[in-house]
Amino acid sequence: MAGVHAASTHLLDAALMKQDLAGLARRTAALHGSPRPTRLRVKWRRRTGGGQAAIRLGRPTVNASHRVLIFVEAAWRPAAVLVDATLRAAAENPALSVVGVVNTARQWSGSPLSLAVWGLVVELTHRVLNRDMVVPLNYAWITGAPWVAKRHGFRLIKPPEGNVNHPAFVEQIRLELQPSFALVFGSLQIFKPPLIASIERIVNYHNGLVPHYRGLSATGWSLYRGEERTGFTFHDMVAGIDKGPIVLQGSVPVLPGVSVRRHDYYKTALAAASIPAVLAHLVDGESPTPQESSGSYFSAAARTAITTVEEPRSHSEAELRRRLQAFGTLSISLEGGSLPVTSLRSVPSTASRLCFRTADGSQLQATRLAYLPPRVYSAVRSLRRWIPSWP
């Protein structure tokens, strides 16, 4: 019987993840710079079975037998790492030719440079103010998918009105791009049947282990529910959200005290290293493994409900820290408003600013708002009032 394809790697075991970031950066960079399936402990149990024009700045692969189309959420950092890994792997495989990179974000309209600069600002801020948020240096993670695509010779394709399901764009895919298969690295848009039918096969990257973690914020939910591992899934895209047959899955250990951002980075690095295996699966025409019928789906509303704390005094300190660890940000009602709290600390009862008492009697203070000291956060909010385009 066919089984789920499991992936694991020595680079991401618990001992190494606890080492200093410099050592992890060197090892992860080496893995990401030369992604090969032999670096993975992959157990395969096979089952055989039956707009706007794309602009390529570089030189296309000649006589490639498989045409690849990539869909990407432009501002999602993990997507940039996966795009980079895919373009590298395709460049090394003469059977593959990438015909375009499509931006699935409806609203994003910035330049590759602006997103790259903003990514650098965010990373520098974390290194100065939020050491628990620091991840190994990775140019793709920092600069974003638009810059990565440009570096490889592509400009992002923007569908009419930003709608990937627009009939004109679907027609462009059929008549001009004509992909053999597509890879989706993040999309808040649901692919409708006409778009799915226009491509022979679409494989979606989901940052959770299906069927138990379908939907949004899969990493956060797995941490919140106390799982020992958190993972990802490459699966065929079908009409149901995250319900398609499984191509490959992988996971990393959940480490106490490690931020959700770091966990996301670790499994993104592992997923990037598995890209050659995914492409080989598609080129060889292998059959995926059907999902179990049962499972769990987590909606945007569910995340909003658990990260919104209107009465902080009604929760214990442990519960608030558990939520903060899992989701990174809590919207807590403090001092007459709802504030994006990203760090809490225990303080004496005499402290007053941004403080509250929990249900079990602890006195907590919000020490970071949107990952910034409260005074800096207030200054940035003032700048945004004067400069509407401020990120």
Q: What is the CATH number of the domain that holds 50?
A: 3.40.50.170
The average pLDDT across 23-30 equals 43
Query: d(Cα 289, Cα 44) in Å, to the nearest integer?
Result: 11
Q: What token pair was written down for 22? A: 């410099």
| pLDDT over threshold 80, residue 25 | no
Work out the mean pLDDT of the chain and round it to a whole number.
83
Selection from 146, 277, 99, 92 nearest residue 203 by Cα:
277
Query: Is 287 a domain residue?
Result: yes
Percent above pLDDT 90 for the chain: 67
Q: What is the pLDDT of residue 175?
A: 94
| pLDDT over threshold 70, residue 190 | yes
| pLDDT tens, position by position, 76-127 | 999 999 999 999 999 999 999 999 999 999 877 678 888 899 899 999 999 9
Do 157 and 114 lie in a common domain? yes
Q: What is the pLDDT of residue 152?
A: 94
Do 66 and 106 lie in a common domain? yes
Query: d(Cα 85, Cα 74) in Å, to the nearest integer?
Result: 15
The pLDDT-based confidence of 26 (bands split at 50, 70, 90) is very low
Total domain count for the chain? Answer: 2
Q: What token pair was written down for 122? A: 């965010």
Do 236 and 360 lie in a common domain? no
The continuous run of DSSP H or E covering 79 comes out as helix 77-92
| pLDDT over threshold 50, residue 61 | no
Query: Is 1 a domain residue?
Result: no
Q: What is the pLDDT of residue 383?
A: 74
DSSP SS3 for 298:
strand
Query: d(Cα 79, Cα 185) in Å, to the nearest integer?
Result: 5
Query: Is 391 a domain residue?
Result: no
Angle at 145 between CA 253 and CA 370, to 5 degrees: 65
Domain boundary among 273, 298, 323: 298
Domain boundary among 275, 298, 321: 298
| pLDDT over threshold 50, residue 355 | yes
Q: What is the pLDDT of residue 294?
A: 84
Q: Which stretches within 198-252 are classed as H helix?
A: 218-224
Do 112 and 238 lie in a common domain? yes
Q: What is the pLDDT of residue 31?
A: 42
Query: Is 129 a domain residue?
Result: yes
Do 223 and 132 lie in a common domain? yes
148, 88 contact by CB (below 8 A): no
| pLDDT tens, position by position, 221-277 | 999 999 999 999 999 999 889 999 999 999 999 999 899 999 999 999 999 999 999
The number of beta carbons lying within 10 Å of the beta carbon of residue 127 is: 14
209, 231 contact by CB (below 8 A): yes
Task: Report the amino acid identity of residue 284.
Answer: D
Domain holding 348, by residue range, is 300-386
Do 174 and 305 lie in a common domain? no
Query: d(Cα 370, Cα 129) in Å, to the nearest integer?
Result: 11
Contacts of 327 (CB under 8 A, 6+ apart): 217, 220, 224, 260, 303, 306, 307
Q: What is the pLDDT of residue 384?
A: 65
Per DSSP, 153 falls in state T
Cβ-defined contacts of 366-369 (< 8 Å, 24+): 366/332, 366/334, 366/339, 366/341, 367/343, 368/129, 368/130, 368/341, 368/342, 368/343, 369/339, 369/340, 369/341, 369/342
Do 315 and 267 lie in a common domain? no
Q: What is the pLDDT of residue 386?
A: 56
| pLDDT over threshold 50, residue 317 | yes
Selection from 23, 24, 85 nearest residue 268 by Cα:
85
Angle at 52 between CA 215 and CA 190, to 5 degrees: 15
Task: Report the amino acid identity of residue 50.
Answer: G
Query: Is 13 a domain residue?
Result: yes
Q: What is the pLDDT of residue 350?
A: 74
Backbone angle region of 146, left / alpha / beta, with phi > 0 → left and psi within -120 to 50 → alpha: alpha
Do 260 and 354 lie in a common domain? no
Radius of gyration of the chain (CA): 22
The pLDDT-based confidence of 24 (bands split at 50, 70, 90) is very low
Q: What is the pTM of this model?
A: 0.83
| pLDDT tens, position by position, 357-377 | 999 999 999 999 999 999 999
Do 284 and 141 lie in a common domain? yes
Query: Is 36 a domain residue?
Result: yes
| Terminal Cα-to-Cα distance of the chain (whole angstroms) | 50
Do 74 and 200 lie in a common domain? yes
Domain boundary among 298, 317, 350: 298
| pLDDT over threshold 80, residue 293 | no
Do 226 and 241 lie in a common domain? yes
Contacts of 73 (CB under 8 A, 6+ apart): 79, 103, 104, 105, 145, 185, 186, 187, 188
Do 238 and 341 lie in a common domain? no
Q: What is the CATH number of the domain that holds 380?
A: 3.10.25
| Count of all residues that appear for the chain in the document | 391
